[in-house]
Amino acid sequence: MNVHESDARRIFADRGLPVPPSRVATTPDEAATAAAEFAGLVVVKALVLAGGRGKAGGVKLADGAEAARDAAQQILGLEIRGERVRRVLVAPAVDIEREIYLGVTIDRERQSAVVMASASGGIEIEEVAAATPEAIERIEFDVARGVDAWQARAVGFALGLGGRQVLAFVGILNGLVRVFVECDASLAEVNPLVVSPDGKLWAIDAKLNIDDNALGRRPALEQLRDADAEEPAEARARAAGISYIKLDGDIGCMVNGAGLAMATMDVVKHYGGEPANFLDVGGGAGADRVSAALSIILDDPNVRAVFVNIFGGITRADDVARGVLAARESMPRAVPLVVRLMGTNEAEGLRLLADAGIQAERSMDAAARLAVEAVR
């Protein structure tokens, strides 16, 4: 789950990072008031979860209240990667002498938590990694222990910071590591970390991405979820324990297991169809969840056929069959239903379906072809 910059700034500041003050504005007038409070040059930024907002015109400098009002006027209502801008962040602009990148994330290849820092701040770290990987300083660390001060100092010196700045940098790095561990983050990033002409360090941006698996034990972070930035159907699915991502096709897919769910989309496409969604009903789904999944799929008006592809392991075919039958009773509209059912408790599942007049398929390929034919 991505957290808005306004919340991430607060979380970072709480752990001692030097984050300039800021206000959130929902109208141009509020932006003007905030700018007047800070005096001088301010930055007005779109509060959206999508990346690339600078390039999309979502970040503007403004000198004074009137300019801030104009900037907010232009930014509010923009659509950035499908996300409508409803709020802006207003903060005093910081004079920039140099920009540094600092981030804490998971290195999948090395199977470790890692701090990454680069003297090339302000641009995406992926670009730096691709062009000059040697320009990135890295500290792999044990999350139970954190980063030692000497390691952080070494990175500070490698970035070319002076003695006093390095002390500040060590505090910032350790603060960001604390954010990462205490918030169950998958990414905590300051880009850029700015050195101002007076030699001070400022975190002028804050990016925080929380591990979805940990939200259950982080209720305060769950509260930061922006429900308006989420597809309503995806939110409904999440509440039911289902992974659902809406796509543009017309064949609704209900599958157990993420890998098989992706493969089902691929196979539908292979036979000339277009999947309407990714849906993993989750391991061990009972009849209720299966029924909820079908109802979510059918709420998409583009769906003209549903392909149920279940290979039971921890999920049991008879539970799925009961869910399919219950959902069919209350289907808001009739569309062709192609069911492929195998695996744990298969015989009982097939019997339940056959008693209700549904002939389940055995092969995923054959079932995918039937689903594609059904929408032709």
Q: Which residues are catalytic?
A: 101, 189
Asked if residue 219 has a cis previous peptide bond (ω within 30° of 0), the answer is no
Q: Under the criterion CB under 8 A, does residue 260 sit at the interface with other proteins?
A: yes
Q: In this chain, which of 78, 154, 233, 245 binds other proteins, going by CB under 8 A? A: 245
Compute φ and ψ for 311, nearest 5 degrees.
-120, 95
Q: Does 186 bind other proteins (CB under 8 A)?
A: yes
Residue 235 in the binding site for other proteins (CB under 8 A): no
Site string for other proteins, 103-142 (x = CB under 8 A): ---x-xx-xxx----------x-x---------------x
- The verdict on 28 binding other proteins (CB under 8 A) reads no
Phi, psi for 83 (deg, rounded to 5): -110, 120
Q: What angle do CA 1, 307, 365 make, to 5 degrees?
A: 110
Contact flag: residue 295 with other proteins (CB under 8 A): no
Q: Considering only residues 47 through 76, tell me which ones interact with other proteins, judged by CB under 8 A.
A: none
Q: What CA–CA distance (Å, rounded) separates 164 from 71?
A: 37
Q: Is 373 in the site for other proteins (CB under 8 A)?
A: no
Q: How many CA atoms lie within 13 A of 229 on its CB side?
A: 18
Return the sign of the alpha-carbon dihedral for residues 157, 159, 165, 170: negative
The rounded Cα 210 to chain-centroid distance in angstroms is: 8
**Which of these, 57, 64, 58, 59, lies nearest to 41 by C-alpha position?**
64
- Residue 338 in the binding site for other proteins (CB under 8 A): no
**Interface stretch with other proteins, choices 36-44, 59-67, 96-104, 312-320 (CB under 8 A):** 312-320
- The size of the chain, in residues, is 376
3-class DSSP assignment, residue 150? helix
From 167, 229, 342, 375, residue interacting with other proteins (rule: CB under 8 A): 342
Q: Residue 342 Cβ, how far from other proteins at the closest point, in Å?
A: 7
The answer to whether 360 touches 350, Cβ cutoff 8 Å, is yes
- What binding mask, one character per residue, do residues 141-180 give for other proteins by CB under 8 A, x or -? -xxx------------------------------------
Tell me the pairing of strands 79-80 and 83-84.
antiparallel
- Measured between alpha carbons, how far is 244 from 221 in angstroms, rounded to an integer? 22
Taking alpha carbons only, the member of 57, 44, 43 closest to residue 96 is: 43
Candidate list 265, 297, 298, 372; residue touching other proteins; CB under 8 A: 265
Window contacting other proteins (CB under 8 A); options: 87-95, 195-203, 222-230, 255-263: 255-263
Is 263 one of the binding residues for other proteins (CB under 8 A)? yes
The residues that touch other proteins, with contacts defined as CB under 8 A, are 106, 108-109, 111-113, 124, 126, 142-144, 181, 184, 186, 211-214, 216-217, 243, 245, 247, 255-263, 265-270, 275, 278, 280, 282-284, 311-314, 342-344, 346, 364-365
